[in-house]
Structure 1
Amino acid sequence: MSKRIIYNFLSDDELLRISNKIKETEKKTSAEIVVAIQEERKFFQKRKSLRQLAEIEFNKAGIANTADKKGVLIFILLSDKQFYILADKKVSDKINQNTFDQLANEMSEQFKSGNFASGILNCVDSLGKLLSLEFPVKSDDVDELSNKVIVS
């Protein structure tokens, strides 16, 4: 079995730091944040756009099923070094896609400098600040989704 592509970019320790950052960030917002890293396009995905791949992952991760429709996916396609941030209905009603595209661009710049973990950590942090303004944490808030980074 060949070595996974992910380990050319992130160590297990860095993946854990990202998961912990998501957990810490979600304590300040009622929204859900998911980071999904796809190592490469599968054969049947060759013709799909980056957004379409993000939509597939969005549904697979269960973000579409959250109670308040306040989930956000940070989708990373490693082989193509592409990023897409996809938000659920309530979030995209308050924060426009241009804002998410800007965050993805900032993450891309970090990646170009070889700062893979800090690029993702900074993106989660910036996203958390935006989400906490629009969707502050509530007393009855429940963490509906795993904070673990999804790698496929």
Structure 2
Amino acid sequence: MIGRGGQYDLTLSQQLLFLKASPAISGVGQVRANKLTWQEPIQPTALARSYLATITLQPGQTPGVQIDDPDLELLAAGRPFPHVYRDPLRLCLYLPGAREWDARKRIDQTIIPWTYLWLYYFEDWLWSDDWKGEGQHPGEEPEPVGNRAMRRAVARC
């Protein structure tokens, strides 16, 4: 499928090949029934715990990232934590609609590094109770821009 700017969307098989060929990626995956599934062990820093992330992608959808082990909710000890979607629990890695990810972009160069970064901030949040990763949480509205000219300029972005 041709995406914006006349570039072609990457197929699930192309995404899988990029993931397998990346020297920085150590996971395993497959394409079955028109769905890419990739499992990646992630340790955001040398002193952090290890996580097992599962990334899924189907044509026409955005990638979903779930942490299979350890259980993030158990680690949070009942505290509501930021930057996740619920039912099922998935990581919020980028702002939908802001064109940070589309099907022309490689998962190994976007979603996997963003997952490392999310887990880095999660580890810090567990200790400090302060999310330092910035970003806009799902359901939040952006802060209103000060003047009319500035609001118009931001709306055009």
TM class by shorter chain equals 0.3 to 0.5
Give the TM-score of the pair, scaled to structure 2. 0.40
Larger C-alpha radius of gyration, 1 or 2? 2
| Structure ranking higher on relative contact order (CA contacts 8 Å, 6+ apart) | 1
Give the TM-score of the pair, scaled to structure 1. 0.41
